[in-house]
Amino acid sequence: MCGDRVNTMSLPHALLGLLAEQPASGYELAKLFDLSLANVWPAKHSQIYPALAKLSTSGFVVASEEGPRGRKEYTITDDGRAELERWLVEEPSEHAVRHDDLLRAFFLWTLGADGAVAHFEREAADANDVGQQFTQLYRDVDWDDSDAALYAAIVLEQGRRWSAMRAEWSLWAVEQINAHRTAKTLTGRLPDSAFDPPAE
Amino acid sequence: MCGDRVNTMSLPHALLGLLAEQPASGYELAKLFDLSLANVWPAKHSQIYPALAKLSTSGFVVASEEGPRGRKEYTITDDGRAELERWLVEEPSEHAVRHDDLLRAFFLWTLGADGAVAHFEREAADANDVGQQFTQLYRDVDWDDSDAALYAAIVLEQGRRWSAMRAEWSLWAVEQINAHRTAKTLTGRLPDSAFDPPAE
DNA sequence: ATGATCATGTAAACTGTTACATGATTGT
DNA sequence: ACAATCATGTAACAGTTTACATGATCAT
């Protein structure tokens, strides 16, 4: 009806995406964010409620009458589905994220080799923990046969692979620092092996 | 002198980290952000100038007299170095980042299998491109023997590994979707192989 | 002279977090 | 009765982006 076209930010689309599966209240959506999107796109209820109100005035969702405890159930409209699909297809993803752990790594030289090595070893242990948690989460979730479940599993798998990469990279960094520690005065070279072109 | 203790956010610490290597002006820092931190912690000059002013009043940096074109050079103080190291060691990193590409993946089922496969194939190609860019960047940078250069290379290596992981994962996702396409009606099972525990 | 680059800032708009605020219903 | 959970919102603050605004210096 009204082609308002939500701009670049993703929270409204995340809400549309969740509502594409089934209608839900703001409260339920907040829970879904905590359960399934906590590591992807966190959002608090204080952000969700106003966003739903705005989606409603834009005509991308409709709210039911107030239920038991003032509960309002939102249902996605055809316009909402169209906007969701437009976002999925047209909107370029800006995979420019803020990595505070990489920022730290960048400045780790100020701690000296020992401090940096300790840091990366902690990082590796932490990454393995997180990977285990993802694996456990995969086991705990009651997956159904839906398409949505498949894609949720695919996302979770990236989490697992990311953790594995981070652990391996951290240990690799330790090796590099130790090599640099002794080799610096001899050759002063940076690692070659780091930049073998990625396998196609 | 004054132990103001910058709070959780990282921009001031990024500035302190860059200034730990050598003094610089706001303009130069803005360029450094674009050159070396664009994929880690982007920042615009409009954010940098006020942040420097605040770091200055907190006593973590000192500004020189105004130079040629109103240029002000900032130098890190001992307090600034202490704050930087405190942040590196004490402050827990919240590797909870927002991944708009993963958010997209989560809702890709709404496009149907063909649309999703096309998306992941584009993703894989894009990830390979980005990986190549990182590799090229590694070659183009004029690395010196400094510790800072080693850590910059370590960070860049994570970028390369992340790209490689993303490309592999995207192609894996295509396989899963194709398997699900036919197998759903037969077994309805989700991938097992996805969750082999990560190698220690 | 003119355009590129150096150089610094402010203001408005938007996104997100934390804290505040309220009240209904359900289970024990 | 009391605690937990359901359920919705607002307000203040912090951080980021985009746009506005200005002017000096350098190379051609």
Of B94, B158, B173, the CB nearest to A169: B158
Separation CA B173–CA B175 (nearest Å) = 5
- A190/B119 touch (CB, cutoff 8 Å), yes or no: no
Chain B, nearest residue to A198 by Cα: B164
CA dihedral angle for residue A141, residue A144, residue A145, residue A148, rounded to 10 degrees:
-70
Separation CA B124–CA B173 (nearest Å) = 10
Q: Which amino acid is at A91?
A: E
Nearest residue by alpha-carbon distance to C1' of D25 = B69
Chain A, nearest residue to B153 by Cα: A190
Separation CA B20–CA A107 (nearest Å) = 9
Residue A56: how many other CB atoms lie within 10 Å: 16
- A41/B177 touch (CB, cutoff 8 Å), yes or no: no
Q: CA A69, C1' C28: Å apart?
A: 21
The number of C-beta contacts closer than 8 angstroms across A and B is 246
- A145/B188 touch (CB, cutoff 8 Å), yes or no: yes
Token digits of residue B99: 């991944």
Separation CA B52–CA B24 (nearest Å) = 11
Residue B25: φ, ψ to 5°: -90, 165
- B195/A157 touch (CB, cutoff 8 Å), yes or no: yes
| Residue that has been written with the tokens 């170095």 in this structure | B81
Contact residues on chain B for A39, CB-CB shorter than 8 A: 96
- pLDDT of B34 reads 95
Nearest alpha-carbon partner for A174 in A127, A123, A132, A131: A123
CA distances from A183 to A173, A186, A187, B31, B48 (A): 15, 5, 6, 31, 37
Question: What are B73's strand-pairing partners?
Answer: B25
Separation CA A97–CA A40 (nearest Å) = 11
Interface of A with B in 46-85 (CB under 8 A): 81, 84-85
Chunked into runs of 10 residues, chain A (200 residues) has average pLDDT values of 66 98 98 95 97 97 90 98 96 86 97 98 96 92 90 96 96 94 68 55
Nearest alpha-carbon partner for A74 in A99, A93, A57: A57
Q: Binning pLDDT at 50, 70 and 90, where does residue B4 land?
A: low
User: How far is residue A123 CA from its own chain's centroid?
Assistant: 19
Separation CA A88–CA A128 (nearest Å) = 32
Q: By the CB < 8 Å criterion, does A132 face chain B?
A: yes
Nearest alpha-carbon partner for B166 in B199, B124, B113, B138: B124
Q: CA B83, C1' C7: Å apart?
A: 28
Chain B, nearest residue to A83 by Cα: B110
- B10/A103 touch (CB, cutoff 8 Å), yes or no: yes
Nucleotides of D under 7 A from a protein CB: 6-11, 14-20, 23-26
Separation CA A15–CA A6 (nearest Å) = 12
Is the minimum distance from the CB of A11 to strand D below 7 Å? no
CA distances from B24 to B19, B148, B149, B151 (A): 7, 16, 17, 20
Q: How does pLDDT run across B170-182, given as a tens digit for each residue?
A: 999 999 999 998 8
Please work out, in degrees rounded to the nearest 5, the angle formed at the alpha carbon of residue B151 by the alpha carbons of B145 and B154.
115
- pLDDT of A194 reads 55
- What average pLDDT does the segment B184-192 reach? 62
Best mutation target, A106, A138, A174, A175, to test chain B (most B CBs within 10 A): A106
Is the minimum distance from the CB of A43 to strand D below 7 Å? no
- What average pLDDT does the segment B107-128 reach? 97
Separation CA B84–CA B152 (nearest Å) = 17
Q: Binning pLDDT at 50, 70 and 90, where does residue B5 land?
A: low
- pLDDT of B142 reads 85
Q: What is the DSSP letter of A184?
A: T
- pLDDT of A186 reads 58
Nearest alpha-carbon partner for B51 in B77, B29, B81: B29
Helix (H), strand (E), coil (C) string for chain B: CCCCCCCCCCHHHHHHHHHHHCCEEHHHHHHHHHHHCCCCCCCCHHHHHHHHHHHHHHCCEEECCCCCCCCCEEEECHHHHHHHHHHHHHCCCCCCCCCHHHHHHHCHHHHHHHHHHHHHHHHHHHHHHHHHHHHHHHHHCCCCCCHHHHHHHHHHHHHHHHHHHHHHHHHHHHHHHHHHHHHCCCCCCCCCHHHCCCCC
Q: How does pLDDT run across B34-75, given as a tens digit for each residue?
A: 999 999 999 999 999 999 999 999 999 999 988 888 999 999
CA A190, A192, A194, A198 torsion-angle sign: positive
Q: What is the DSSP letter of A121?
A: H
Is the minimum distance from the CB of A95 to strand D below 7 Å? no
Separation CA A94–CA B8 (nearest Å) = 24
- pLDDT of B141 reads 87
Q: Whole-model pTM?
A: 0.91
Q: Binning pLDDT at 50, 70 and 90, where does residue B188 land?
A: low
- A145/B93 touch (CB, cutoff 8 Å), yes or no: no
